[in-house]
A and B are shown apart, each in its own frame.
Chain A
Amino acid sequence: MDFVQNFPAISILLCLFAGIISSGLKSKAAKYVNTALIIVVAVLSACTLFYVLNTGEAFVYVMGKFPAPWGNEIRAGVLEAFMALFFCIIMLLSMFGGRKKLVDEVEESKTFLYYVLTNLLLSSLLALVYTNDLFTAYVFVEINTISACGLIMIRQNGRTIEAAARYMIMSLLGSGLLLMGICMLYDLTGHLLMSNIKEQVTIIASSGEYGIPLLVTIALMSVGLAIKSALFPFHAWLPDAYGYSTVSSAAILSSLVSKGYIFLLIKIIYRVIGFDIFGASEIIDVLFIFGLMGMIFGSLSAIKENDVRRMIAFSSVAQIGYIYMGIGMGTQDGMAASVFHILSHAATKSLLFIAAIGLTDVSAGSRKFIDLTGAAYRNKWAGVAFTVGSLSMVGVPLFSGFISKLLFAQAAVQVNGKMLPALIVLGISTILNAIYFMKTVIRIYTPIETDQYSSITFKNMKLYAVTLVCFIVLNVILGVSSQPIVDLIGQGLAMFS
């Protein structure tokens, strides 16, 4: 066994230990530990990625001394390692971008807890990405939920606590369904390791027995994870949670937490149920339809919204809809488009949240559109970044959003029966996106003659501006050199089965 094969397990354990250690540190030390941790984990994930690319096949790492089918396993392929690396980059940039706001909005004595929670969140995300065991996945789903709830609540006001309560309630409903699904699947197959379950599920499905229990299981797990990742009818908690928490939390929640659950769902589709069996069940159409509805209703709610951060949050609902539409198409191309959209949305949405906070700060902290008039002149960097994010969300070429829309359209063309609704809704949703994002961009670039607001220059926000530039570069990289990444995703998905 090569030494690199230890890296996934080491990175999960490092995050857990860093969380424990940070709880005894002062805020400043905890901050350094957190930054160092994310960088180290990113490096470890990059090493794993190169190793897997070189060997050309996924490896399984046995936790403890019990071999399959009894023990617990970690599995790393191209997609897993790439996702871990990408999550680390987004998390690092989100933390940098929201650093200044964190000092303003969170009590000094509680800042270290924020870093404890982020460390735990990273550990749970990594575990969701790497684990090969369904019950471990459930436990880390709960850790993810608890730490995400903490990230919402750490800024203390009535709104965030209410949002946290609503978030917890919806999440618990989701994890209840997921746990029920896992238990029933365990009952059907007698295994907890994904690869063993898949063998048994294939046998059960081909024998034709237990058709209904299998369908119920698939439904429970899909709906559970869909609730947790805020698919359309279950998104009521989302605008408050993203709109009022501190900006790093909003960026991390929208771009990482919900994506972790979606990635777990994709893993379950490929590695537990099997792509063909999942594609043959009716659940896939349900996900497709709710994805389409989310794309439209999320955008409509965003248009009605008068608060810039809540608008961006509602836009997340629409983007989650895109991802589920891709999953619902039931083809490899649709799935690859969904995975690319996970990346593209993560890079864009965190950029938008962090740019929006720069704009509201120079508008006396107001998030109302009317007060944002001319904000882009007062904070030039944030203005440019917000424009880039908006263009990417709308799907203008050169940015990542365009590529994901292109991939979705290409995938839709190949699916009989789903082509027309997918293309029509894609078109409508793009127009709606353009309406609310361009409205905001025009608003912030409308000159206004007033000296009631202060401007901010590069000198006063070096870290913030550099973060924005990094985000823009990331977005353009995803948009311009998309082909290698799409190939990587295809390779990773092929490695899943």
Chain B
Amino acid sequence: MGANLLANYGEAVAMILFGIGFGNLLLQSNLIKKIIGLNIMDTAIYLFLAEKGYIEGRIAPIVIDGVQSTEAYINPIPSGLVLTGIVVSVSVSALMLSITIRLYRRYHTLDLDEISTRLKKEGL
């Protein structure tokens, strides 16, 4: 158990970061902190993928010196997944930020709970 953890310390760190991000996104009431939590969570997943996709001593699969052996290269798909994931998380963060701006202009606060209580008072 301990030895495994030491050998896979990158994945362990990714999991801890994922937990931190998840907790922030769930529990913080400040919208900006929530978005930061979202980004930590997503980045932790990319760290996990990158860590899993890299094998020590191998390089990205771009043939330069005519080395064709698969032993020399890493699998490019995890990196591709990371890129796709980054695109998704950028667009989602942008959407969240734009919602935050809307809410701030209306209520002059970033606290989601306070916005909710004010909405209840308004009654609409």
Residues of chain A having any CB pair with chain B under 8 Å:
135, 138-139, 142, 145-146, 149, 153, 157-159, 161-162, 164-166, 168-169, 172-173, 176-177, 179-180, 183, 186-187, 192, 244
Residues of chain B having any CB pair with chain A under 8 Å:
18, 21-22, 25-26, 31, 34, 38, 41-42, 45, 48-49, 52, 77-78, 81, 84-85, 88, 91-92, 95-96, 99-100, 102-103, 106-107, 112, 115-116, 119, 122, 124
* A162–B122 CB distance below 8 A: no
* B25–A172 CB distance below 8 A: yes
* B95–A149 CB distance below 8 A: yes
Partner of A183 from the list B21, B81, B95 (CB cut-off 8 Å) is B81
Q: How far is it, in angstroms, between the C-alpha of A168 and the C-alpha of B35 when the chains are bound? A: 11
Q: Which 6 A-B residue pairings sit nearest by Cβ, starting from the closest?
A: A142-B88, A176-B41, A165-B99, A187-B52, A161-B102, A159-B124
Partner of B103 from the list A138, A145, A161, A172 (CB cut-off 8 Å) is A161
* A139–B106 CB distance below 8 A: no
A residues less than 8 Å from B25 (CB atoms): 169, 172-173, 176
Chain B interface mostly? helix
* A153–B45 CB distance below 8 A: no
Tell me how far the C-beta of A230 lies from the nearest C-beta in chain B, rounded to whole angstroms.
Answer: 16
Total of A-B residue pairs, C-beta within 8 Å: 81
* A139–B22 CB distance below 8 A: no
Q: Which residue of A lies closest to B95 (CB)?
A: A146
Partner of B31 from the list A153, A165, A176 (CB cut-off 8 Å) is A165
Tell me how far the C-beta of B96 lies from the nearest C-beta in chain A, rounded to whole angstroms.
Answer: 6
Q: How far is it, in angstroms, between the C-alpha of A111 and the C-alpha of B78 when the chains are bound? A: 40
**Given A162-B112, A168-B96, do A183 and B42 touch, yes or no (CB 8 Å)?**
no
Q: How far is it, in angstroms, between the C-alpha of A192 and the C-alpha of B49 when the chains are bound? A: 13
**Given A165-B103, A168-B95, A168-B99, do A176 and B119 touch, yes or no (CB 8 Å)?**
no
* B107–A153 CB distance below 8 A: no
Q: Which residue of A lies closest to B100 (CB)?
A: A165
Tell me which of A142, A145, A172 has the highest count of chain B C-beta atoms within 10 A of its own C-beta. A172
Partner of A165 from the list B38, B92, B112, B124 (CB cut-off 8 Å) is B112
Q: How far is it, in angstroms, between the C-alpha of A186 and the C-alpha of B112 when the chains are bound? A: 36
**Given A162-B119, A166-B112, A176-B22, do A183 and B100 touch, yes or no (CB 8 Å)?**
no
A residues less than 8 Å from B48 (CB atoms): 180, 183
A residues less than 8 Å from B31 (CB atoms): 165
Partner of A162 from the list B52, B77, B88, B103 (CB cut-off 8 Å) is B103
Q: Which residue of B lies closest to A146 (CB)?
A: B95
B residues less than 8 Å from A176 (CB atoms): 18, 21-22, 25, 38, 41-42, 45
A residues less than 8 Å from B106 (CB atoms): 158, 161
**Given A139-B88, A166-B112, do A158 and B107 touch, yes or no (CB 8 Å)?**
yes
* A164–B124 CB distance below 8 A: no
Q: Which residue of A lies closest to B38 (CB)?
A: A172
* B88–A180 CB distance below 8 A: no
Q: Which residue of B lies closest to A161 (CB)?
A: B102
Q: Which residue of A lies closest to B51 (CB)?
A: A187
Starting from the known contacts A161-B102, A162-B119, 10 additional A-B residue pairs (CB-CB under 8 Å) come to: A139-B84, A158-B106, A165-B112, A168-B96, A168-B99, A169-B25, A176-B21, A183-B49, A183-B81, A186-B78
A residues less than 8 Å from B38 (CB atoms): 172, 176
Q: How far is it, in angstroms, between the C-alpha of A162 and the C-alpha of B48 when the chains are bound? A: 33
Q: How far is it, in angstroms, between the C-alpha of A138 and the C-alpha of B92 when the chains are bound? A: 13
B residues less than 8 Å from A164 (CB atoms): 99
**Given A153-B99, A169-B34, A172-B92, do A179 and B85 touch, yes or no (CB 8 Å)?**
yes
A residues less than 8 Å from B49 (CB atoms): 183
A residues less than 8 Å from B122 (CB atoms): 158
A residues less than 8 Å from B91 (CB atoms): 142, 146
Q: How far is it, in angstroms, between the C-alpha of A175 and the C-alpha of B45 when the chains are bound? A: 11
Q: List 5 A-B contacts (CB under 8 A).
A: A149-B95, A158-B106, A158-B119, A162-B112, A165-B99
A residues less than 8 Å from B42 (CB atoms): 176, 179
Tell me how far the C-beta of A161 lies from the nearest C-beta in chain B, rounded to whole angstroms.
Answer: 5
B residues less than 8 Å from A244 (CB atoms): 124
* B81–A162 CB distance below 8 A: no
* A180–B115 CB distance below 8 A: no
Q: How far is it, in angstroms, between the C-alpha of A16 and the C-alpha of B101 when the chains are bound? A: 28
Q: Which residue of A lies closest to B18 (CB)?
A: A180
* B95–A157 CB distance below 8 A: no
* A146–B92 CB distance below 8 A: yes
